[in-house]
Structure 1
Amino acid sequence: MDYRTIVVELGPDAGCVARIRVAADLASCFGAHVIGASATGLRIDPVRGAGDDAAWYAELARRRRLGQAAWYGELLGNTLADAAPGITFSHHVVAEEPGWVLAQEARVADIVLLARPGPTGGGVPSLAAEVAEYVLLNAGRPVIVLSEEVRRLHGGHVVIAWDGQRAAARAVADAMPLLLRARQVTILAVWDRAGRPDANSEPVVGLRHYLQRYGIVAAVRTERTSLPVGPVICDVLRELGADLLVAGDYGHSRVRELVMGGTTRTLMRHTEVPVLFSH
């Protein structure tokens, strides 16, 4: 069970090189092909009758965007050659918006590596947040959001945020190649109702047995709280010294088809470790 095609977002953020290096590490581990995706934005032709100046500026902007994309292609090739010589890669440049491009590329890949959105004030999502959320909702593939400090995704301590729901089950299946190579796996169940489940309570016990059939012996951590789930998960990750979080997309019934739930946005922006999301 491996990842054979890995898509990595190329962009101007400070974590781009680190993200490429993580892609190289995964590709070396799984024998995968890396696709670097560059989005140059929608091409906007000048309005008829706007004059020669409008056409000249439109062409200038187009050339500038293509020049930036070419630079990202060189960065991709040089970084991969340095980090993992011999792996195959390709650079795809598409004249569309970043979220759309990454979602399309991800649909014919196994996993996509994205820049982690930064915290935003006033509840207004940043452009980066909109890109990551759009890809998660529309790609049909797992995504991993990464900060610029991350250097490795496999071989560490993986925590599974488990609520027994469909999205969490999908995330576990999507993360199996990483779970099989993890040094340690912990199931984290956060509850907001009466009772305190343990390792032998449903739905935790079902996941434990499922993982055991793959040779994965998982520890269990349960938390009961009346607080928002996202910050509680972040606190437990720090306490456990986790290296990767596996989580389903937390949302609210049909609303989550259009809008992220608060827990997903908290985990996407505020976790100090990479997060593998599935929707």
Structure 2
Amino acid sequence: MDYKTVLVHVDDSPEAPDLVAFAARLANAQGAHLVGMTQTGISRFIRETTLPGVELGDLTPLFSDLRALAEARGAQFDGLASQAGVASFEHRIDDAEPGLALALQALYADLVVVGRTRPGTPALSGVAGLPEYVALNSPCPVLVVPHPGAHTGTFGRAMIAWNASPEAARAVRAALPLLARASEVEVAIFDDDSSSARSPEDAAELARFLDRHGVNVKVSRHHPRGEVGNALLVYVEDRKADLLVMGCYGHSRYREILLGGVSRTVLRRLAVPVLLAH
């Protein structure tokens, strides 16, 4: 089981070439088609400037410039993908907000690769950053990579944050192409009021499920005194894991914009790639 279409966000950040290179290595390892998605910024410009009393005038030259910049990012993506030896790739350009554009293109992808939200980046819907928005609105898993230049694109030691929830189960299934290639996989259970993993049999069932996919795991159980997200991050660092797999938990009423406490803590402070599914 492999990812056959990998979608990567291509923006104008200094980390973008490293993120594309990371996604290219991942696509090569999976034998996947790689799609680079970039945006013109036109939708955001219109939203932020279309106010009462604001005279916009003829915006055709500005929009042409924005599209030219997006084309340049697309060409850079093509060059990086070709240089990395990716057999099949293409770039897409959209005028929509980044999160919306990625979520819609994710309808036709197996995995979305994004970077961590940079400090000072405008929030989507006024609250959520890009990884949060895409994870909560994408039909496929999202791999958030905080330091793409420091990662090879392979994952030797993976950790699953397991609480026996549907979101966690979807994340595990979505991560199987990566877990199958990992040399070590640990299922970490952090007991708190939100966890549904109430007995050792919960973990044993997951271990048997993964074993049938050729993934051998060990199980650890923890009873954190403080906030689960912080305890999880400390344990990931202690175990020197290079991939975290977890469910992404959104508040149902505000599904598009708000995350639960553990997801929010991990995305704010993560130091290793995390695969999210909702």
Q: TM-score range by the shorter chain?
A: 0.7 to 0.9
Alignment match, 1:188? 188
> Structure 2: which amino acid aligns with 1:131?
L
1:202 aligns with 2:194: no
Residue in 2 that maps onto 1:69: 70
The 8 Å contact of residues 34 and 86 in structure 2, kept in 1 or not, is answered as no
Is the CA contact 1:188–1:222 (under 8 Å) kept in the aligned structure 2? yes
Gaps of 5+ in 2: none
1:36 lines up with 2:74 in the alignment? no
**Aligned AA (1:203):** D
CA separation of 1:130 and 1:184: change in aligned 2, threshold 3 A: same
TM-score by length of 1: 0.87
Partner of 1:167: 167
Corresponding residue of 1:107: 107
Deviations 1:180-200 (A, max 9, x none): 00111011111126xxx99x8
Do residues 270 (structure 1) and 269 (structure 2) align? Answer: yes
- Identical amino acids, percent of aligned pairs: 33
Residue identity opposite 1:232 in structure 2: A
Aligned to 2:255: 257
CA contact (8 A) 1:168 1:278 kept: yes
CA distance in 1, matches of 2:236, 2:23: 23
Tell me what 1:216 maps to: 215
Q: Deviations over 1:210-249 (max 9, x none)?
A: 1111222112222101311111110001000001000001
Give the Cα separation in 1 of the matches to 2:162 and 2:254: 18
CA pair 209-256 structure 1, distance change in 2 beyond 3 A: farther
Q: Is 1:55 aligned to 2:57, yes or no?
A: yes
- Amino acid across the alignment from 2:130: V
Q: Describe the shift of the 1:244–1:77 C-alpha distance in structure 2 as closer, same or farther (beyond 3 A).
A: same
SS of the aligned residue for 1:203 comes to helix
- In structure 2, the residue matched to 1:132 is 131
Give the AA of the match of 1:12.
D
Task: Report the Cα offset of residue 126 of structure 1.
Answer: 4.2
Q: Which residue of 2 aligns with 1:3?
A: 3
Which SS does the other structure have where 2:129 is aligned? helix
Q: Shift of residue 129 of structure 1?
A: 4.8
* Deviant stretches of 4+, over 3 Å: 43-47, 53-56, 124-129
1:8–1:114: 8 Å Cα contact kept in structure 2? yes
Question: In structure 2, what is the Cα distance between the partners aligned to 1:28 and 1:209?
Answer: 30
Preserved contact between residue 119 and residue 270 of structure 1 (Cα < 8 Å): no
In structure 1, how many angstroms separate the alpha carbons of the residues matched to 2:269 and 2:221?
A: 21
Q: Is 1:82 the equivalent of 2:83?
A: yes
Matches of 1:3 and 1:227 in 2, distance apart? 37
Q: Deviations over 1:229-279 (max 9, x none)?
A: 111110001000001000001345x24624211211111121110000000
**Aligned partner of 2:64: which letter?**
R
Q: 1:91 maps to what in 2? A: 91
Q: 1:86 to 1:25 in 2, by over 3 A?
A: closer
Q: How big is the alpha-carbon RMSD for the aligned residues of Structure 1 and Structure 2?
A: 2.7
Deviation string 1:157-204 (CA, Å, 9 cap, x unpaired) is 0100000110000000000000000111011111126xxx99x81311
Distance 1:74 1:125, change over 3 A: closer
**What is the deviation of 1:18?**
1.5
Contact 1:34 / 1:90 at 8 angstroms: preserved in 2?
Answer: yes
Distance change in 2, residues 1:13/1:177 (3 Å): same
Any idea what the Cα deviations from partners look like across 1:115-167, whole Å, max 9, x if unmatched?
112468xxx98459522221111111100111234423334101000001100
Number of matched pairs = 266
Q: Counterpart of 2:158?
A: 158
